[in-house]
Structure 1
Amino acid sequence: MPVPASGGRARLPEEVRPERTRGEHTHGEPPAPPAVAAHTVRRHSVRGQILRALRSALADGELVPGEVYSAPALGERFGVSATPVREAMQRLAAEGAVEVVPNRGFRVAARGPRELAEIAEVRAMIEAPVILRLARTVPAARWRELRPLACATETAAAEGDRARYAEADRAFHRALLSLGGNAQLVTVAADLHRRSAWPLAAGPAARRADLAADAAQHTALLDALIAGDQEAVRRLVRAHFGGAEV
């Protein structure tokens, strides 16, 4: 659900629009009555939808790097109160996609080529050795289980859906690294991956051809892992991480 052009309103489904009152159960309080519990579920549902919409707008460049956006203004566009927008923006701030501007709102992070190159280098240092190690120990059957995730990246790339591609790409890498059993590494890698997903401060977003090439590398890497071709895995890992030393 992208942010609409100025003057438009992106309405959320009627059944998940938040009420304007507040109130959530906290530790130490008695259980909330059913009506309040239902309200809490709806509120979390709306916040999740707003978060997905904002991530989509970031990936597509609809939220412009360097620009400041207020929660009330975005809430007006979505047809919701400022509260779920503000909560979603706080989550994005924790991820480094936006930064808080006191009394104004949130500024979209402006990542330049150097910062993205540095993030890519760190990702390669973390992910490449893990993939090479797993290539020697994980059986082919486990690699085959990742096939639907690789296919999902190809589908999103073919449709040119940058936001959906970013999520599918992250899901593939997360599932791959999860086979190593190190939850902390998976969390750090996922954070770096998300930080690298937003568009540059200046310049076009990733083209459909770029997405397709990246997705094709997923499929080729998975084929090599299933086949147990260590040399092909090493070559593909190096290519996927921009010529990283492996």
Structure 2
Amino acid sequence: MSTTPLTSAPRGKTLSGHALSQLKELLLSGQVMPGQLLSLRTTAEAMGISVMPVREAVAQLVGEQALEVTPNRSVRVPILSAEQYTEVTNIRLELEGYAVQQAALIAPTSLIARLRKLNARLAREMEATNPDSAAVVMLNKALHFQVYENANMPLLLRMIESLWLRIGPILNYDIHAGSERTVKKTAYEHHIRLIDALESRDAEAARAALQSDIKSAYQHILEKQYAQDGEARRAGHGS
């Protein structure tokens, strides 16, 4: 499994709406890196549309702080500071924890089956000699959103999506850097506890498992990536 390519707009969907959904998927699935520049022209060509719909989609994502415009008018994926990353994570713990609680109360057997299949695929990818980092991020995202969608709370889902638009690139950065969590299958183990809790409709246990998963990733990235970046910046300034 590799990075999902951009596609042309399906029949019946507006060009700007299609561009927005495609760009969101790149961010949500961690297929772009923090600080990565996005070319409007190249993106438009990949979608088979003009630049204008892409520009409209980018403007909306800039408004959501999922993308940013640099002083020289380039569009790039934001680089969150450690403080911003911590803030987003704390909000995720509350919103996603609540979504999981609600999902646990009504989780059908069909959802449990889908989650176990996704988690098994995630485990196989993590066990591969050369794990496909894009596949790991996308499978993790797919599993989480299967649960959140089952809460049947559209407004809450949109709020969670907005947070993931900002957090997806950081997860991608961590995995591409050779995350120990991939080797140890940490997320897979947390997911097992989450799925078991959903199956037994134990809302509190499901919330605890989900929050443990988020906290584990947060702590690892904070210690490994942000600490390393801080050391690199200090070395670059000779301090």
Query: Does TM, scored on the shorter chain, surpass 0.5?
Result: yes
Q: Which has the larger radius of gyration?
A: 1
> How far 1:74 moved relative to its partner?
6.0
- The Cα offsets for residues 61-120 of structure 1, whole Å up to 9 and x where unpaired, read as 3xx51x655424666899986456535534543443321347733133111222112111
> How far 1:169 moved relative to its partner?
2.8
Aligned to 2:40: 71
**Cα distance in structure 2, aligned partners of 1:140 and 1:76:** 42
Aligned to 1:225: 198
Q: Which has the higher contact order (CA 8 A, sep 6+)?
A: 2
Aligned to 1:236: 209
Q: 1:213 to 1:79 in 2, by over 3 A?
A: same
Report matched runs for 1:5-84 at 5 Å.
47=19, 51=23, 55=27, 59-61=31-33, 65=35, 69-72=38-41, 82-83=51-52
- The Cα offsets for residues 189-221 of structure 1, whole Å up to 9 and x where unpaired, read as 122122111138x98756354243213322331
1:97 counterpart SS class = coil
Aligned to 1:6: none
Higher helix share: 2
User: What TM-score, normalized by structure 2, do the two folds share?
Assistant: 0.61
2:170 counterpart SS class = coil
Aligned to 2:91: 122
1:197 counterpart SS class = helix
For structure 2, the residue ranges without an aligned partner over 5 or more in a row are: 219-239
8 A contact 1:95–1:195 mirrored in 2 = no
CA root-mean-square deviation:
4.5
Q: 1:185 to 1:58 in 2, by over 3 A?
A: closer
2:189 counterpart SS class = helix
> How far 1:233 moved relative to its partner?
3.6
Letter paired with 1:106: V
- The Cα offsets for residues 4-55 of structure 1, whole Å up to 9 and x where unpaired, read as xxxxxx9x89xx5x9xxxxxxxxxxxxxxxxxx97x8796798489637954
> How far 1:175 moved relative to its partner?
2.3
Count of aligned pairs between the two proteins: 210
Equivalent residue for 1:216, pick from 185, 189, 193: 189
> How far 1:121 moved relative to its partner?
0.7
Letter paired with 1:121: N
User: What TM-score, normalized by structure 1, do the two folds share?
Assistant: 0.60
* 2:146 is the alignment partner of 1:175: yes
2:198 counterpart SS class = helix
**Cα distance in structure 1, aligned partners of 2:188 and 2:109:** 21
| Sequence identity percentage | 22
**Cα distance in structure 2, aligned partners of 1:94 and 1:165:** 28
Q: 1:213 to 1:100 in 2, by over 3 A?
A: same
